[in-house]
Chain A
Amino acid sequence: MRYSGEHFVSPCLMAMAVGVMITAMKWPFKTALFPMIVSVFIFFGAMAEFLLTFFESKHIVTKQGAVDFQLSEDIDQALANRRTLLGFAWIIGFFLLILLFGFLIAVPLMVFLFLKVQAKERWGISLLLTGLALVFFYGLFIWLLSIPFPVGWILEGLKMPGLG
């Protein structure tokens, strides 16, 4: 039998439920009541789900899934996995850009890099859309709504010795 990610979801939930139970034991009865009930239910439910996933065939497990948004299945699995990782890399990259440079620089930088590197768009379109994104962000969130955005670690670091 081949193990996949779905075999690890229930054990993770069971471990989490045990962790909650142990922590809740230290609390007063009324504070611990709700977390206890929920974690006991999760523990036994996850155990049942684990057994079902473990013993049922892959086809039935997939068929007995959620009535929810489904990922596209008509794409080669290896390519889909690569693009998924790439997608998450862009998301984490955007976060790091915000952390380092702050929103005001990260927003146009991210839009431009995505359009140029990932989408392989022409310079004209990339610059135009980057400009639009900057105008939208600055106009709506900074100028109109006056939301305080962080300046980022690099600019913050430069400010400290008086360089910024």
Chain B
Amino acid sequence: MLIGSAIGFWVGILPGIGGSATLALMIPFIYKMTPQEAFPFLLGMHSVVSTTGDITSVLFGIPGEATTVATVVDGYPMAKKGEAGRALGAVLMSSLVGALFGAGFMAFSIPIVRPLVLAFGSPEMFMVILLGLTCIATLSGHGKRGFLCGLLSGGFGFLCSLVGQERQAGIIRFTFGQLYLWNELPLIPVVVGLFAIPEIIDLLVRGTAIAGNVSYGNLSKGVRDGIKDTFRHFWLTIRCSLIGSFIGILPGLGGAVAQWVSYAHAVQSAKTLEERAGFGKGDVRGVLGPGAANNSKEGAGLIPTVAFGIPGNSGMAILLGGFFLMGLIPGPDMLTKHLTLTYSMVWTIALSNIIVVAVCLLFINHIANLTTIRGNLLIPFILLLCFIGAYTSNNHIGDLIVLMLFGGIGYFMVRYHWPRPPFILAFILGRLAENYLYVSTSRYGASWLYRPKVITIFLITVAFVLYHFFRKKISIRKEEPHEV
């Protein structure tokens, strides 16, 4: 856990490297670990990324992670006003409160989720996979094209998951005569290629230090004030943590959404118009809200992943890959046979955040230095990790070809604004979805479609799509007069 937290600490600070990409890079290291070692390692890393990602958001206005963008809005103006220390103190302490809240939320939700999971059969699980994919596809894009691209990206992920020997009838599909492909497309080269290669290319294109050409000053002033601010606005921090937890539990949402909703809530908490006008210009509440929410969603995000096998975001999708590598099947077993392991995840999130926040507060001046390392010095090392990480998947040269192929696909997806999270979600869940469909059709014929729970989940899926479609239409109409 400590090694994982140390890696997550640096990954969060470095804007060029995403938490999901690093999680994918670290997955090969768990091959020889036991589940009791592997999950503290992976979760220790993943759960602190948002915490330290806030540091770069505040210091340079460059989000360390996709989940720490909202912190920039008020954190960076605070830094420009000479209140960087206060902003960092506030964001780190609210992150810690959020993380502890999220871990507690997970611990207390498990007994409630348990009977719910046990009531779900293959048809319901198939529909839940479709619901999760629809959620993430809907929220991964802007407008009708973004929505379509999200769904198509998911469909493409399903198609890629078909490669290899089919499990039920043993039919070989889309292997192009290659024995290597009989055992499906390997997860790690696909994930590393899709997420890490576009970021490496972009780092090379920018040709600057990883945090751009920015400098930093003395940051130690005001840290204590920032910590006090968290407790001065304690109920706001708790409310934003609750928002983060609720959003985290919904498949397809996650930190990127949670941070903005909680920021909006922080703005709403302003009592007067003058107070509200201070947001965006360096109000500490604009830092506390997103800081708490993007950490509290970590614990809550584990609930659908562990209980249903439905990852809430790409990071959780990769973590789900870790479950399979460890021979663990998310679902009822995780809440009965492996309950101890599930609860150890709660402790991992809590402990790793306590340790990392303490370290951050101690070394706040020095940690900012890393963001000024030139990208050209980092690229060969990141590339090295990508290649070795991919190769160790099957110890086969084919892994490297898959890495490059999906690196290219990932780059074009980013370039042409096709969302990658639905792809990776569908790629990971494709075999599971097909299996559930196969079992449902074999056991119930077409009658599984009329099961009440199946119909309910289907209606929720449709409602989710319609809600977002109409909400976007309404917001576009509202924006139109301004554009004119």
Instruction: Judge: A and B partners, yes or no.
Output: yes
> Quick check: A147 and B376 within 8 Å, CB to CB?
no
* Residues of chain B lying within 8 A (CB to CB) of residue A65: 141-142, 145-146, 149, 416-418
> Quick check: A20 and B376 within 8 Å, CB to CB?
no
> Quick check: B148 and A49 within 8 Å, CB to CB?
yes
> Quick check: A30 and B442 within 8 Å, CB to CB?
yes
In the bound assembly, the distance between CA atoms of A39 and B18 in angstroms comes to: 31
Q: Which of A9, A28, A35, A103 contacts B388 (CB 8 A)?
A: A103
Please, which residue of chain B has its CB at the minimum distance from the CB of A113? B380
Report if A84-B205 is in contact (Cβ < 8 Å); known contacts: A30-B441, A49-B148, A67-B142: yes
* Residues of chain B lying within 8 A (CB to CB) of residue A107: 384
> Quick check: B156 and A66 within 8 Å, CB to CB?
no
In the bound assembly, the distance between CA atoms of A105 and B384 in angstroms comes to: 13
> Quick check: B166 and A31 within 8 Å, CB to CB?
yes
* Residues of chain B lying within 8 A (CB to CB) of residue A119: 374, 376-377, 379
In the bound assembly, the distance between CA atoms of A38 and B400 in angstroms comes to: 28
* Residues of chain B lying within 8 A (CB to CB) of residue A141: 388, 392
* Residues of chain B lying within 8 A (CB to CB) of residue A28: 169, 171
Report if A71-B168 is in contact (Cβ < 8 Å); known contacts: A48-B148, A66-B146: no
In the bound assembly, the distance between CA atoms of A64 and B469 in angstroms comes to: 13
Interface presence of B37 (CB below 8 A): no
> Quick check: B395 and A31 within 8 Å, CB to CB?
no
Report if A64-B141 is in contact (Cβ < 8 Å); known contacts: A45-B148, A69-B199: yes
> Quick check: B145 and A6 within 8 Å, CB to CB?
no
Report if A35-B384 is in contact (Cβ < 8 Å); known contacts: A63-B142, A67-B419, A68-B419: no
> Quick check: A66 and B380 within 8 Å, CB to CB?
no
In the bound assembly, the distance between CA atoms of A111 and B207 in angstroms comes to: 17
Q: Which of B174, B197, B200, B419 contacts A66 (CB 8 A)?
A: B419
In the bound assembly, the distance between CA atoms of A31 and B168 in angstroms comes to: 8
Main secondary structure of the interface of A (DSSP, over half): helix
Interface presence of A123 (CB below 8 A): no
> Quick check: B414 and A38 within 8 Å, CB to CB?
no
> Quick check: B441 and A53 within 8 Å, CB to CB?
no
Q: Contact mask A128-154 → B, CB, 8 Å, 1/0?
A: 010001000100010001011110000
> Quick check: B143 and A30 within 8 Å, CB to CB?
no
Q: Which of B205, B397, B404 contacts A71 (CB 8 A)?
A: B205
Report if A67-B374 is in contact (Cβ < 8 Å); known contacts: A13-B152, A88-B408: no
Report if A68-B140 is in contact (Cβ < 8 Å); known contacts: A45-B152, A115-B376, A137-B388: yes
Please, which residue of chain B has its CB at the minimum distance from the CB of A65? B417
Interface presence of A25 (CB below 8 A): no
Cβ of A133 to closest chain B Cβ, rounded Å: 6
Q: CB within 8 Å of B: which of A19-59?
A: 20, 23, 27-28, 30-31, 33-35, 38-39, 41-42, 45-46, 48-49, 52-53, 56
In the bound assembly, the distance between CA atoms of A80 and B205 in angstroms comes to: 6
Report if A42-B149 is in contact (Cβ < 8 Å); known contacts: A9-B416, A67-B139, A95-B400: no
In the bound assembly, the distance between CA atoms of A11 and B201 in angstroms comes to: 26
In the bound assembly, the distance between CA atoms of A84 and B158 in angstroms comes to: 29
In the bound assembly, the distance between CA atoms of A62 and B146 in angstroms comes to: 9
> Quick check: B146 and A9 within 8 Å, CB to CB?
no
* Residues of chain B lying within 8 A (CB to CB) of residue A84: 201, 204-205, 411
Q: Which of B149, B162, B168, B411 contacts A49 (CB 8 A)?
A: B149
Q: CB within 8 Å of B: which of A113-130?
A: 114-115, 118-119, 121, 125, 129
> Quick check: A5 and B416 within 8 Å, CB to CB?
yes
* Residues of chain B lying within 8 A (CB to CB) of residue A155: none
> Quick check: A66 and B140 within 8 Å, CB to CB?
yes
> Quick check: B149 and A66 within 8 Å, CB to CB?
yes
- Pick out which of these stretches binds chain A: B242-250, B316-324, B431-439: B431-439
* Residues of chain B lying within 8 A (CB to CB) of residue A118: 204, 376, 379
Q: CB within 8 Å of B: which of A67-110?
A: 67-72, 75, 79-80, 83-84, 86-88, 90-92, 94-95, 98-99, 103, 107, 110
Q: CB within 8 Å of A: which of B219-269?
A: 256
Cβ of B123 to closest chain A Cβ, rounded Å: 14
Interface presence of A1 (CB below 8 A): no
In the bound assembly, the distance between CA atoms of A39 and B417 in angstroms comes to: 22
Report if A69-B198 is in contact (Cβ < 8 Å); known contacts: A5-B415, A87-B204: yes
Interface presence of B338 (CB below 8 A): no
* Residues of chain B lying within 8 A (CB to CB) of residue A5: 412, 415-416
> Quick check: A111 and B199 within 8 Å, CB to CB?
no
* Selected A-B contacts with CB under 8 Å, 29 pairs: A9-B412, A9-B418, A10-B152, A20-B162, A23-B173, A33-B441, A34-B434, A42-B159, A49-B152, A52-B145, A56-B145, A64-B144, A65-B146, A65-B149, A66-B140, A66-B141, A68-B413, A68-B414, A83-B204, A83-B207, A87-B200, A90-B204, A91-B383, A95-B404, A114-B376, A115-B377, A129-B381, A133-B384, A145-B32
Contacts A68-B417, A86-B204, A145-B32 known; list 16 others, CB within 8 Å: A20-B162, A20-B174, A34-B434, A46-B152, A68-B421, A69-B420, A71-B415, A83-B207, A87-B200, A91-B197, A94-B387, A99-B397, A110-B384, A115-B377, A115-B380, A147-B392
Q: Which 8 A-B pairs have the closest CB atoms?
A: A65-B417, A64-B143, A119-B376, A66-B419, A64-B145, A6-B416, A87-B201, A34-B434
